[in-house]
Structure 1
Amino acid sequence: MSPARALDPKLFDATVAAVALFAGPEHLLIYVNAAYKRMLGARPLRRPAREAYPEPAAERFLSVLDDVLATGRPRQLTDSLLPAPDGPDEVRHFVSSCTPVATPLGDGVLVVTLETTAETRALQRFEALVTAVSQMVWVVRADGRVEEIVPGWEKLTGTPLPDREGQEMYDHIHPRDRQALVDAWHRALARRPPEIYQNTFRLRTADGSYRHMTTRCVPIVRDGHAEEWIAATVDVEDTWNAELREHLLARVAQTSGGSLDTAFATVVESVVPELADACVILLLTHEEWPLPEHATVTARRVASATRPGLPPAPAPMGQTVTVTPVMREVLESREPRTFRLPPDGRVPSGLVPEVTERWLTASGATSMTLLPLVVDDIVLGYATTATSGDTPVPEPADVELLREVLHHAQRPIRKVLDLQQARRTALRLQRAQLTRPPAVPGARLAARYQPASPANEIGGDWYDAIALPDGTLVLDIGDVAGHDLGAATVMGQMRSMLRALAWNKGAACTPAAVLAMLDDAAEGLDVGSFTTVVHTHLRRRPDGTWRMTWSNAGHPPPLLIPARGEPGFLDGGGEDPPLGVAPALSRTTHTHALAPGDTLLQYTDGLIETPGTSLDTGQRRLLEAAALHRAEELPELLRLLQDLSDHRDDTAMIAFRAEPAD
């Protein structure tokens, strides 16, 4: 074989790459081109490389020259820190290709060098940026291969990052987040054109706990297809917890009005499934505090919620359970307590009532937390929360957030309790006023009062019946505007003044005159309010009929249910304005005769008024029901008619039925 032809270095004089040629075992520098001089500075020719490159930074470069000459194999020197003419403080980066060649002076090495300072600095800045803002950064290739750019997976999870996207990676995702993450990722892969993909999920860490992470994947698109994805993942646990806390506290703070059960229902629905898999709230039925030492204490369940997939709530709402000794300890300490349940699902005996124990076992509960419910330094009851299956046992921070949610609910619960107390006070006041109708010869009487169902609806409906000394029967039905304790108070005043005027003036004073005097007195004593009322006198005649006279101040007209014939309203040609509108106005007395067997019904508007329907509709329904049930005894008739109400407003009714003459 003929010897290799020596390389003519003049070939590289005009190239833009920096070229140097070394010859012999001492790597004698025999050639550098102009580009080399500009890039790396002038070097003395015909000198050994160790003399031409005396800087310590060149040691690696010199060792590569030795290796190429000895082995005859080319080498690439990446990120070589060759000395630069800008001085020792200026760091520049190069890539050099070192190739064995034949030179006029024997075997040698051709070195071609390109500067990569700008590219290297850009990469360093990128790595610094993603390290500063991300937990980890990786590349997902089109074939599913995964490569980390900024490591972090193993530090966070305790296991190396899988080399491919797949089940091994998804096993670290919380089971209830896994499928949604997989589906969203596959949808992103199928999109055309590819779009940025983002998802938040829980990742299991090295200690077994879960943290919320957000991954943002950006596609690298070529020809309309994503060749790879750059994924940046950040830990958002603190941000997620802060946002969850604000959301939960804002939700329970909006709880107002309604019943206490409704208030607590909002609380449990806020807790599940964000903080627990199940939540039950029970109120103590024992009002004494502290709890008596040896007495049996019970609690009534008022609200519960469970996440989908778990067995239904363990018992009907309102069921009463006995408070266990462990629960008593928690209530008396006023401190929450978490119990880890054994893997076999068996709940320690005596920890919770038997019905709760059965439910915890059936749901595969892993933990249970008891939290006292304290309002205005009074322990009202407690909340029981549970985790099941793969849901992590709550950490102290989770329990503290649960406690804060219940504490934050104190204000709306206190408001509901105040409304309930006001409601009870008003109802006691009303019922004290709504006395039993008197016994009247030749007639039967029945009355009924039904308060509104909402806890804040307490109002001024009333009925009254008194027998005057001459045998005249006085019936009243009225309604004071408003639905609060004030309305109930005014109702008591108006009712008392009306019956006093009726008794004092006697049967000789017409109903219209009595109402005119009541209107005047209410205005003069400043106790008046917008009030509707029907004031009726009933006088029995020798033939067994009854003469009815009445005056109507803006109230729904009385209903006559005759023994024979169709029921009808006694409007008397129209009612006068309500009381409190025009005290000086002259009022009208109307007259009608009642035959034996006829029934007179006086009622308040809660019986016939329903939101969304006309008053005519309500009156028509009352006429139909009265015709259907006319043969019933008066108490049963009133009970059946009560079903016409939607219970959004108070309802008062009083019924009179004339009996046949002896």
Structure 2
Amino acid sequence: MLPSARAGSVPASEAASPAGLPDLLGAAVCVVDQRGLVARVNSHAERLLGGTTADLVGRNVHDLLHRDRHGQPSATAQCSLIQAFLTRRPQVGGGWFERGDGSLVELSWLMAPYAEASADADAVVFFTDHDRAADLPNAPGSALPELERLTLLAETTTQLTSTLDSDEALNRLVHLVIPRIADWAVVDLITEGDEVERSIVVHYEDGAYVARVDLQGPMPPVPAESPMPLSRALRGAASSLVTPQTYQGPPDSGIAIEQARLFAATGMHSAAIAPIRGLRDVLGALTLGRSAPRGPLTPADLSLLEDLTRRTGLALDNARLYQRQRKVAETMQRHLLPQLPSVPGLQMAARYLPAPDDSQVGGDWYDAFTLADGMTALAIGDVVGHDLDAAAGMAQIRSMLRAYAWSHHEPPSAIVRRLDGSTLLAGVPMVTLVFGVVEQAADGMWRLTWTNAGHPPPLLVAHDGQARYLTDGHGMLLSTGLTPSRTDTSLTLPPRSTLVLYTDGLVESRHRPIDDGLERLRKHAASLAHRPLPAFTDLLLERARPTDDK
């Protein structure tokens, strides 16, 4: 039996709802869906565009707003905003727009696509009054014009909130900020054990990102009273500008020694350090540094850095919460998976493989146990869902199935009918299941009787390499609210044959039909027919599972 977690990816709509995005910045913001229609606006957009949410939502962003300087509708083919939308690249532009009262206003805009778009959130558009955008909005000494700052913040929001992997989020952040703001990016993280890990040191050099692994690794503990910038940032203090001279005096802690080493090894002449704050705790610190020939960072860059670390903290908080939930669900699943019984004349092996990092936890499960009449029950199934509810539902299904099978001496189809009625009462979502019993006949042969409730069919592999799917006895999945008929099918197993029960993660792929996955599994199982059962199981899992869903 080869249980395998369902593969998939987290939709952007689940990873980070766009509902809160329009209010993150003090600017006019429109969220546009995949059809080019306005999906959401904030209050700044309502005032700037002269319309209410009801006036704007559901309208084509080009047809509704774009005009030439004489107030006539402009051609779609000549619309730079539409071109930016189609190419899915962050772009800045401007033009004339019609307000709700019919008046014209010249606006500057920037468009940034969602890294993982959903049906109702494909891109975000920021609008700024043209005169104001051309004038002052840049803070004195700021390295980036205001529209570029807004572009960077929009990209940071969309890219960091569209992943639930903290390493990937930090990698995206590094590629956003260098070389735009600095030449060096350093990330120090506080682990769950309150230790400090220098997880990233990256330099942008000759058009490439170069990781300085020699400068990464564990850091000394955070001193409680140190006034040095990184120590203060890791305690949650405000951001600050730093130069090599900051760390030239006698060090007050191990962190100060590491900072002096960092400046000496990187050649940074100017750096800015800001805390990465989560909702409740300080998660780490981000250091951006410059080396020659670029000029030093200025106080104006600190506000941008703080905006970036705020978004980074929220993204890391979400990623860590997801990883903790995932770990709890995986631990629950592993502890609920049973020990296989020892049955004379039968060999059994099971493998459980968690879903890939970019997938969610599911409700896949298996079971094998000896019944009171001496028969051996086999089950494998999948509770629909990708969270702790699915894992909890899996535990309920397994317990109920064991109870019914032990207390009622009935065929598998009758047991599954009882289970089907109970799933609705227990509030368990839809379930697929193969349930069967094997017993040894008087002639020493083993006979399998099974029923299938919407699950991928078992695979029977003869010792001579012939392999076929057992498609009989197939019926509707559980917990639909219907009362479908269920049938039993019996089969005498050939001597030395192998019965493979599996979940759909072993045969499903986003890039090919499930029939291809089933055929792939059948061919690999047939080629391994002569292998001992442990090797058969390991090699089949390694060779047959999809590798293109990463």
Please state which band the TM-score falls in when normalised by the shorter chain.
0.5 to 0.7
* AA in 2 matched with 1:315: V
Contact 1:256/1:415, CA 8 A, preserved across alignment: no
Counterpart in the other structure of 1:175: none
Q: How has the CA–CA distance of structure 1 residues 283 and 471 changed in structure 2, closer, same or farther, with 3 Å as cutoff? A: farther
Output the CA distance in 1 between the equivalents of 2:347 and 2:368: 12
Structure 2: 5+ residue stretches without partners: 1-133
Contact 1:479/1:491, CA 8 A, preserved across alignment: yes
* AA in 1 matched with 2:526: A
**Shift of the alpha carbon at 1:389?**
1.6
Contact 1:538/1:547, CA 8 A, preserved across alignment: yes
Q: Does 1:517 align with 2:418?
A: yes
**Shift of the alpha carbon at 1:436?**
2.1
| TM value normalised by structure 1 | 0.55
Q: Does 1:245 align with 2:146?
A: no
**Shift of the alpha carbon at 1:537?**
0.5
Output the CA distance in 1 between the equivalents of 2:447 and 2:412: 13
Output the CA distance in 1 between the equivalents of 2:241 and 2:413: 70
Q: How has the CA–CA distance of structure 1 residues 321 and 561 changed in structure 2, closer, same or farther, with 3 Å as cutoff? A: farther
| TM value normalised by structure 2 | 0.66
What are the Cα deviations for residues 127-160 of structure 1, in whole angstroms up to 9, with x where unaligned? xxxxxxxxxxxxxxxxxxxxxxxxxxxxxxxxxx
The number of equivalent residue pairs is 404
Which sits farther off after the overlay, 261-270 or 352-361? 352-361
Counterpart in the other structure of 1:587: 486
* AA in 2 matched with 1:562: A
Contact 1:314/1:355, CA 8 A, preserved across alignment: no
Counterpart in the other structure of 1:427: 330
Match among 297, 308, 312 for residue 210 of structure 2: 312
Output the CA distance in 2 between the equivalents of 1:356 and 1:442: 66
Which sits farther off after the overlay, 248-257 or 373-382? 248-257
Q: How has the CA–CA distance of structure 1 residues 317 and 331 changed in structure 2, closer, same or farther, with 3 Å as cutoff? A: closer
Counterpart in the other structure of 1:285: 191
Counterpart secondary structure, 2:381: strand
**Shift of the alpha carbon at 1:517?**
1.0
**Shift of the alpha carbon at 1:361?**
4.3
Counterpart secondary structure, 1:618: helix
What are the Cα deviations for residues 618-654 of structure 1, in whole angstroms up to 9, with x where unaligned? 111111221233344434333322333347999xxxx
What are the Cα deviations for residues 443-492 of structure 1, in whole angstroms up to 9, with x where unaligned? 22221222222456111111111111332111111011121222222222
Q: Does 1:395 align with 2:318?
A: no
Identity of aligned residues (%): 33
Contact 1:341/1:367, CA 8 A, preserved across alignment: yes
**Shift of the alpha carbon at 1:533?**
0.5
Q: How has the CA–CA distance of structure 1 residues 311 and 359 changed in structure 2, closer, same or farther, with 3 Å as cutoff? A: farther
Q: How does 1:408-427 map to 2 (within 5 A)?
A: 408-427=311-330
Q: How has the CA–CA distance of structure 1 residues 629 and 355 changed in structure 2, closer, same or farther, with 3 Å as cutoff? A: farther
Output the CA distance in 2 between the equivalents of 1:338 and 1:555: 60
Which sits farther off after the overlay, 346-355 or 423-432? 346-355
**Shift of the alpha carbon at 1:363?**
4.2
Q: Does 1:438 align with 2:337?
A: no
Counterpart secondary structure, 1:312: strand
**Shift of the alpha carbon at 1:287?**
3.0
Q: How does 1:203-352 map to 2 (within 5 A)?
A: 237-238=138-139, 240-254=144-158, 255-288=161-194, 297-299=195-197, 301=199, 305-309=202-206, 312-315=210-213, 319-323=217-221, 327-332=230-235, 334-341=237-244
Q: How has the CA–CA distance of structure 1 residues 315 and 466 changed in structure 2, closer, same or farther, with 3 Å as cutoff? A: same
* AA in 2 matched with 1:266: R
Counterpart in the other structure of 1:567: 467
Output the CA distance in 2 between the equivalents of 1:388 and 1:348: 24
Output the CA distance in 1 between the equivalents of 2:441 and 2:393: 36
Q: How has the CA–CA distance of structure 1 residues 646 and 283 changed in structure 2, closer, same or farther, with 3 Å as cutoff? A: farther
Output the CA distance in 2 between the equivalents of 1:630 and 1:322: 55
Q: How does 1:348-367 map to 2 (within 5 A)?
A: 361=264, 363-367=266-270
Output the CA distance in 1 between the equivalents of 2:235 and 2:532: 54
Match among 602, 614, 619 for residue 501 of structure 2: 602
**Shift of the alpha carbon at 1:360?**
5.1
Contact 2:166/2:319, CA 8 A, preserved across alignment: yes
**Shift of the alpha carbon at 1:298?**
3.7
Counterpart secondary structure, 1:568: strand
Contact 1:610/1:645, CA 8 A, preserved across alignment: no
Counterpart secondary structure, 2:491: strand
Counterpart in the other structure of 2:541: 642
* Greater Rg by CA: 1
Counterpart in the other structure of 2:435: 535
Q: How has the CA–CA distance of structure 1 residues 649 and 513 changed in structure 2, closer, same or farther, with 3 Å as cutoff? A: farther
Contact 1:436/1:447, CA 8 A, preserved across alignment: no
Q: How has the CA–CA distance of structure 1 residues 445 and 356 changed in structure 2, closer, same or farther, with 3 Å as cutoff? A: farther
* AA in 1 matched with 2:470: L
Contact 1:367/1:393, CA 8 A, preserved across alignment: yes
* AA in 2 matched with 1:478: G
* AA in 1 matched with 2:464: R
Output the CA distance in 2 between the equivalents of 1:256 and 1:317: 29
Output the CA distance in 2 between the equivalents of 1:265 and 1:311: 11
Q: How does 1:152-167 map to 2 (within 5 A)?
A: none
Output the CA distance in 2 between the equivalents of 1:538 and 1:318: 56
Q: How has the CA–CA distance of structure 1 residues 362 and 318 changed in structure 2, closer, same or farther, with 3 Å as cutoff? A: closer
Output the CA distance in 2 between the equivalents of 1:355 and 1:413: 24
What are the Cα deviations for residues 213-260 of structure 1, in whole angstroms up to 9, with x where unaligned? xxxxxxxxxxxxxxxxxxxx9988449442233223222222234312
* AA in 2 matched with 1:448: R
Output the CA distance in 2 between the equivalents of 1:353 and 1:559: 62
Contact 1:423/1:456, CA 8 A, preserved across alignment: no
Output the CA distance in 2 between the equivalents of 1:285 and 1:436: 35
**Shift of the alpha carbon at 1:437?**
1.5
RMSD, aligned CA: 3.3
Q: Does 1:374 align with 2:280?
A: no
Contact 2:236/2:277, CA 8 A, preserved across alignment: no
Match among 355, 359, 368 for residue 465 of structure 1: 368
Q: Does 1:495 align with 2:401?
A: no
Output the CA distance in 2 between the equivalents of 1:351 and 1:526: 56
What are the Cα deviations for residues 97-121 of structure 1, in whole angstroms up to 9, with x where unaligned? xxxxxxxxxxxxxxxxxxxxxxxxx
Output the CA distance in 2 between the equivalents of 1:354 and 1:547: 72
| Higher normalized strand content (fraction of residues) | 1
Output the CA distance in 2 between the equivalents of 1:634 and 1:323: 50
Counterpart secondary structure, 1:580: coil
Contact 1:346/1:361, CA 8 A, preserved across alignment: no
Output the CA distance in 2 between the equivalents of 1:602 and 1:264: 40
Counterpart secondary structure, 2:269: strand
Counterpart in the other structure of 1:615: 514
Counterpart in the other structure of 1:23: none
Higher relative contact order, chain-length normalized (CA < 8 Å, sep 6+): 2
Match among 506, 510, 529 for residue 630 of structure 1: 529
Counterpart secondary structure, 2:186: strand
Counterpart secondary structure, 1:406: helix
